Amino acid sequence: MDIGRTPDERFDDLRMHDVDEGQPDGLVPELMGFGRSDKPVDRAAYTYESHVACTGEWLDQLGLADITLFADPPASMLSRAWAGLSAFEKPFLTTFAAHEDITRAFEQVVQEHIPGARDRSRPTVPDAGHFLQQQQPDLLVEAILSLA
């Protein structure tokens, strides 16, 4: 595969860049092809499956355990992991923005389908729309921390 390489000095031996904003317990990966991560030249390499594989490899390399994952998957991507999620018993938080018009319709379906989401409070982030992580980051972090 032809790859557009990001200069080595931008990495700590990882080819998938992560954003470190000084928070010792938070990492944000930049998926392959984005930001400072390597960029496959072949556009066919940009698939859901390749992003999942690269992210899994990145987590394995870091050796992380007992983590909380924050993900913002489009509904089309969530459907590909649907079968596995039907057996997911660990805490699963769904949080939507008050003015979310795109994915809010999936809220009840997710709550019913994923055991870890059942009987769990579903915070609604006020004064935000589809891009709630940019519009209300502090309130979203509070919701995530409520899992602990």
Report the predicted TM-score, pTM, of the whole model to 2 decimal places: 0.60
Question: Is the model more confident about 29 or about 9?
Answer: 29
Question: Is the model more confident about 121 or about 76?
Answer: 121
Least confidently predicted of 39-53, 107-121, 128-142: 39-53
Strand partners, 19: 28
Q: Confirm if 6 and 17 have CB atoms less than 8 A apart.
A: yes
Please state, in angstroms and rounded to a whole number, the distance separating the CA atoms of residues 28 and 41.
23
Q: How confident is the model at residue 14 (pLDDT cuts 50, 70, 90)?
A: very low
Q: Where are the beta strands (DSSP E) in the chain?
A: 3-4, 18-19, 28-29, 39-40, 96-97, 124-125
Report pLDDT digits (tens) over 88-111.
888 888 888 889 887 777 788 888
pLDDT at 127 (0 to 100): 92
